[in-house]
Amino acid sequence: MSIIFDMAFEIMTKIRLVHQTKGIIMSYKERSIWVSLFVTLYIWVNYFSQVYSAAADLTLTVDLIKDLLIEVVIMTVILEIALKIFIAIIDDKDADYSEDERDKLIMLLGAKQAYNILSFTIIVAVVHLLFPGPTQFVTYNLNLPQEYAVINLIILGGLIAEVAKFATQVFYYRRGF
């Protein structure tokens, strides 16, 4: 549990430092997107590094994958809730702000990018299931049943899609739409 609080403190400190040192004025919505981006990257990069280091050590098992996935889900929920509460405390005036047309358009542009990436990933996963020989490079060095390798491929695609969505949204909030 202390790991979760350490991660939350680290992320909050980085957000506060970026906000204070560069004089960047961010809306509540943009700050929430940054928090979600940091949480997503931190947790899922940690997950994949543990999976691939276990694969390199030949200790990767289905039970380890299940345990890591449960841990990732719990940590994501706890960190997202805790950090959104923290942001709402800092920026209590804008926390109750309803979305305008610009916010909705920015969310749609981010979702469009995520949808395209995730669709491509699903196609790659299906091709890998149908033709495992030629696409073996996709699950390189994972000693898992094919279903778990495909699940990790889809999770990786979902991670890339989510990061692209957040990055697109941050880009349009920073650029001004």
Taking only the tens place, the pLDDT of each residue in 92-145 is: 666 667 778 888 899 999 999 999 999 999 998 888 888 877 666 656 666 667
- Give residue-wise pLDDT tens across range 28-41: 788 888 999 999 99
Q: What is the DSSP letter of 22?
A: S
Q: Say yes or no to pLDDT of 7 above 70.
A: no
The token pair that represents 51 in the structure block = 């999976």
Helix 101-130, helix 146-175: angle, nearest 10? 160
Task: Report which of 39, 37, 35, 43 is spatially closest to residue 15, judged by C-alpha positions.
Answer: 35
Residue 21 is predicted with a pLDDT of 43
Report the C-alpha gap between 165 and 109 in whole angstroms: 8
User: pTM, whole model, 2 decimals?
Assistant: 0.76
Percentage of the chain modeled with pLDDT above 70: 77
CB 166 within 8 A of CB 41: no
Task: Report which of 110, 139, 134, 131 is spatially closest to residue 51, judged by C-alpha positions.
Answer: 139
**Mean per-residue pLDDT for 65-76?**
93
pLDDT bracket for residue 53 (50, 70, 90): confident
